[in-house]
């Protein structure tokens, strides 16, 4: 009995110490493998996700010297019912403007909307004579500023509205009493941001490392309702905050409260009340830690220290307009329509050139070539070509096509260069596809009396189309992604290519230039997004094709 028990114990399948260690090693190793796989996947999602998100939505923070919001009606103190509306043509993509921009537009400093709304449209100023002109000048222009020379003066609000509606880049002003006439017209009023926040100078100066750079609208609100009591709470020096406000019935006070405060909030009782800009300026100068608000022009006039206010602008980055608009001003303004078209041209020409040659080569290698020396060399050539770095192709293309053959930098040189680069991809895929056409197909065709060429063109190649197309699509992907070689051979002119010899900028080159020159990161993201979307589409298409091929041969 004892012996039997012993043998049972031996085969207990209990983990021996060594097996335990082996199991442990295995678990940790497998965990490491999962982590590695996770890193790879995570990297892709990070890259694609980051670029796509910032490509579609631009979220930037800009600092202004005025509050982030304003009001549509510009009024002067003492002329409460004679408010002015600034109107622009509806084509202008803006909702608000700062008073500085209004001044620059009406005075002729800015003659193109590009700097403000990023649209390449010329500014057309429409003004009025009469009392409204005085009010406008008082509220908007500082001292010596004049209307621009090209300003067209109208006689009535209705005329201004009509002119602005009919002119793409039109801007004008009307009295608020005529607001109803805007309905149904092609003009719209803009919010004008003209209130600035001024502080005592000390706060802005560097003192023991604590220096205030800017405030946000939220912070300003909280200061004035009393939530913050000391500048150190905002990253500034250790000084108590002393807010100053205008009296409750003043226009500016009302505008300030309307813009910043919610209905149930009130300005802190401790705030000092001032009656004039002069008083405010003196209060700010004399009291450490003081803060107040005034119209921007007044702040300038009374030499108050205006603090920067950060505004966050979230808006669509890559949208239909971007794709359909032309780039202007070195790509700073506008979209990328011409560049997309140039890229399409390149794709088309490349396919025209590389497609037939690649497929023909593949046909030769699979259908006609015998197993001899020459054909081994041919094959060797294709494989080697695939390993050449793209910059060398660029050099080669540059020297041969641009210089030696004197075709110059342009579509043609670029296309020729790219053709050689992607040829191996096409040949390889076409070869695979043709090889996998069942031999029986060829035999039946020949048995029916067809010639070799007829068999190839009517039976074999058509059967291999999905595979060939996969190769072509992949090759296009490579071509679209290629930058260095194209920079030298196809050029960087972002206008639409006029003919085969025109220098033409394509998407990848555009992205590079935008980044290298620091022209516009928002546009760079949008361009990068388009490139990524192209890659995703290519991936999708080839997967579908491969799926179809698998089913066909299933």
Partner 1 sequence: MKRRKLFEGAVERLLFVCAMVSILTIVFITIFIFRTGLPLFEEVSITEFLFSDRWRPTDDQDPGFGILAFIVASIFVTIGALVIGVPVGLASAIHLAELAGERSSRFFKSVVEILAGIPSVVYGFFGTVLLAPINRMLFGGTGFNILLASVILAIMILPTIISLSEVSIKSVPKELKAASLALGASHWQTIVRVILPAASSGIIAAVILGTGRAVGETMAVLMVAGNAPMMPEVVTSMVRTLTMSIAGDMGYAAGTHRTALFTTSIVLFVFVMALNVIIKIITRKGRVKA
Partner 2 sequence: MQTKHKITVDKLNFFYGDFQALKDIDMNIEINKITALIGPSGCGKTTFLKTLNRMNDLIAGVRINGQILYEGIDIYNGNCDVIELRKKIGMVFQKPNPFPMSVYDNIAYGPRVHGIKNKKKLDEIVEKSIKRAALWDEVKDRLRKPALGLSGGQQQRLCIARVLAVEPEVVLMDEPTSALDPISTGKIEDLLDELKVNYTIVIVTHNMQQAGRISDTTAFFLNGVMLEAGPTDEIFYKPKNKRTEDYISGRFG
Q: How far is the CB of 542 from partner 1 (least distance, A)?
A: 8
Window contacting partner 1 (CB under 8 A); options: 37-45, 62-70, 71-79, 149-157: 37-45
Window contacting partner 2 (CB under 8 A); options: 9-17, 92-100, 152-160, 535-543: 9-17
Binding to partner 2 by residue 19, rule CB under 8 A? yes
Binding to partner 2 by residue 11, rule CB under 8 A? yes
DSSP states of 204-220 as a string? HS-BTTB---EEEHHHH
Q: Are 96 and 193 in contact (CB under 8 A)?
A: yes
Residues 255-294 as x/- pattern, contact with partner 1 by CB under 8 A = ----------------------------------------
Q: How far is the CB of 376 from partner 1 (least distance, A)?
A: 11
Q: How far is the CB of 38 from partner 2 (least distance, A)?
A: 22
Segment 440-499, which members bind partner 1 (CB under 8 A)? 451-453, 477, 480-484, 487-488
Binding to partner 1 by residue 422, rule CB under 8 A? no
Select from partner 1, partner 2, none the partner in contact with residue 31, using the beta carbon and a kind-dependent cut-off of 5 to 8 Å: none
Binding to partner 2 by residue 14, rule CB under 8 A? yes
Q: Using the rule CB under 8 A, which residue among 16, 208, 439, 440 binds partner 2?
A: 16
Q: How far is the CB of 546 from partner 2 (least distance, A)?
A: 23
Our CB check for partner 1 shows the closer of 26 and 258 to be 26
Binding to partner 2 by residue 24, rule CB under 8 A? no
Binding to partner 2 by residue 13, rule CB under 8 A? yes
Looking only at the bridges linking them, the beta strands covering 124-128 and 170-175 are parallel
Closest CA to 383 of 360, 356, 401, 365: 365
Q: Residue 22: which residues within 8 A CB-CB, separation 6 or more?
A: none
Burial class of residue 551, CB neighbours in 10 A (0-12, 13-18, 19+):
exposed
Binding to partner 1 by residue 15, rule CB under 8 A? no
| Integer Cα distance of 494 and 395 in angstroms | 22
Around Cβ 303, how many Cβ atoms within 10 Å? Answer: 12
List residues bridging with 86 in a β-sheet.
173
Residues in the interface with partner 1 (CB under 8 A) total 85
Binding to partner 1 by residue 37, rule CB under 8 A? yes
Binding to partner 2 by residue 2, rule CB under 8 A? no
Looking only at the bridges linking them, the beta strands covering 242-246 and 57-64 are unpaired
Our CB check for partner 1 shows the closer of 37 and 288 to be 37
Residues 333-372 as x/- pattern, contact with partner 1 by CB under 8 A = -----------------------xxx-xx-xxx--xx---
Q: Are 502 and 456 in contact (CB under 8 A)?
A: no
Torsion of the alpha carbons at 396, 400, 404 and 408, rounded to the nearest 10: -100
Q: How far is the CB of 27 from partner 1 (least distance, A)?
A: 9
**Alpha carbon of 73 to those of 14, 77, 116, 190, 357: distances in Å?**
86, 12, 20, 9, 68
Q: How far is the CB of 375 from partner 1 (least distance, A)?
A: 8
Q: How far is the CB of 14 from partner 2 (least distance, A)?
A: 7
Looking only at the bridges linking them, the beta strands covering 214-216 and 73-74 are unpaired
Segment 392-411, which members bind partner 1 (CB under 8 A)? 392-396, 398-400
Binding to partner 2 by residue 229, rule CB under 8 A? no
DSSP states of 80-121 as a string? TT--EEEEEETTS--SEEEHHHHHHHHHTS--BTHHHHS---
Our CB check for partner 1 shows the closer of 284 and 538 to be 538
Our CB check for partner 2 shows the closer of 4 and 149 to be 4
Select from partner 1, partner 2, none the partner in contact with residue 13, using the beta carbon and a kind-dependent cut-off of 5 to 8 Å: partner 2
| Integer Cα distance of 298 and 194 in angstroms | 10
List residues bridging with 60 in a β-sheet.
313
Our CB check for partner 1 shows the closer of 62 and 392 to be 392
Around Cβ 116, how many Cβ atoms within 10 Å? Answer: 17
Binding to partner 1 by residue 322, rule CB under 8 A? no
| Integer Cα distance of 494 and 350 in angstroms | 19
Q: CA triplet 404, 407, 409: central angle to 5 degrees?
A: 105
Our CB check for partner 2 shows the closer of 18 and 286 to be 18
Select from partner 1, partner 2, none the partner in contact with residue 12, using the beta carbon and a kind-dependent cut-off of 5 to 8 Å: partner 2
| Integer Cα distance of 481 and 477 in angstroms | 6
Residue numbers of the site for partner 2 (CB under 8 A)?
A: 4, 7-8, 11-16, 18-19, 21-23
């Amino acid at each position: 009995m004892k012996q039997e028990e012993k043998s049972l114990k031996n085969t207990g399948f209990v983990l021996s110490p060594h097996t335990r260690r082996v199991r442990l090693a295995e678990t940790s190793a497998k965990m490491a493998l999962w982590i590695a796989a996770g890193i790879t996947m995570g990297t892709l999602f990070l890259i694609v996700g980051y670029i796509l998100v910032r490509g579609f939505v631009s979220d930037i923070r800009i600092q202004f010297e005025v509050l982030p919001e304003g009001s549509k009606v510009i009024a002067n103190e003492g002329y409460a019912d004679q408010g002015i509306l600034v109107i622009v043509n509806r084509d202008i993509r803006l909702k608000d403007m700062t008073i500085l921009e209004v001044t620059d537009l009406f005075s002729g400093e800015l003659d193109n909307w590009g700097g403000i709304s990023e649209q390449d449209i010329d500014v057309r100023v429409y003004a009025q004579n009469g009392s409204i002109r005085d009010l406008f000048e008082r509220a908007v222009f500082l001292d010596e500023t004049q209307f621009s020379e090209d300003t067209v003066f109208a006689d009535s609000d209705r005329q201004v509205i009509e002119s602005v509606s009919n002119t793409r880049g039109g801007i004008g002003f009307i009295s608020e009493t005529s607001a109803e006439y805007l309905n149904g017209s092609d003009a719209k009023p803009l919010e004008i941001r003209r209130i600035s926040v001024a502080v005592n100078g000390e706060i802005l100066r560097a003192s023991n490392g604590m220096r205030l750079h800017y405030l946000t609208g939220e912070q300003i609100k909280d200061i004035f309702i009393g939530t913050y009591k000391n500048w150190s709470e905002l990253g500034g020096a250790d000084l108590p905050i002393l807010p100053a406000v205008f009296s409750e019935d003043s226009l500016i006070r009302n505008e300030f409260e309307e813009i910043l405060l919610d209905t149930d909030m009130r300005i802190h009782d401790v705030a000092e009340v001032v009656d004039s800009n002069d008083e405010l300026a003196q209060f700010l100068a004399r009291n450490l830690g003081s803060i107040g608000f005034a119209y921007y022009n007044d702040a300038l006039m009374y030499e108050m220290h205006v603090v920067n206010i950060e505004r966050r602008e979230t808006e669509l980055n890559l949208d239909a307009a971007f794709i359909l608009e032309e780039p202007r001003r070195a790509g700073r303004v506008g979209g990328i329509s011409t560049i997309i078209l140039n890229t399409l041209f390149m794709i088309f020409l490349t396919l025209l050139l590389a497609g037939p040659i690649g497929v023909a080569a593949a046909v030769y290698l699979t259908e006609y070539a015998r197993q001899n020396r020459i054909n081994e060399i041919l094959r060797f050539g294709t494989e080697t070509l695939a390993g050449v770095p793209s910059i060398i192709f660029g050099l080669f293309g540059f020297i041969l096509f641009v210089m030696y053959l004197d075709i110059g930098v342009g579509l043609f040189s670029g296309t020729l260069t790219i053709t050689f680069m992607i040829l191996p991809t096409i040949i390889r895929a076409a070869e695979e596809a043709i090889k996998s056409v069942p031999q029986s197909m060829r035999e039946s065709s020949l048995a029916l009396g067809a010639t070799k060429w007829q068999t190839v063109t009517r039976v074999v190649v058509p059967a291999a189309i999905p595979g060939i197309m996969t190769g072509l699509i992949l090759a296009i992907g490579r071509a679209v992604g290629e930058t260095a070689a194209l920079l030298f051979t196809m050029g960087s002119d972002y206008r639409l290519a006029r003919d085969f010899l025109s220098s033409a900028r394509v998407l990848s080159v555009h992205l590079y230039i935008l980044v290298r020159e620091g022209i516009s990161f928002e546009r760079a993201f949008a361009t990068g997004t388009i490139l990524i979307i192209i890659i995703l589409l290519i991936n999708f298409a080839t997967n579908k094709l491969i799926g179809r091929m698998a089913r066909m041969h299933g």
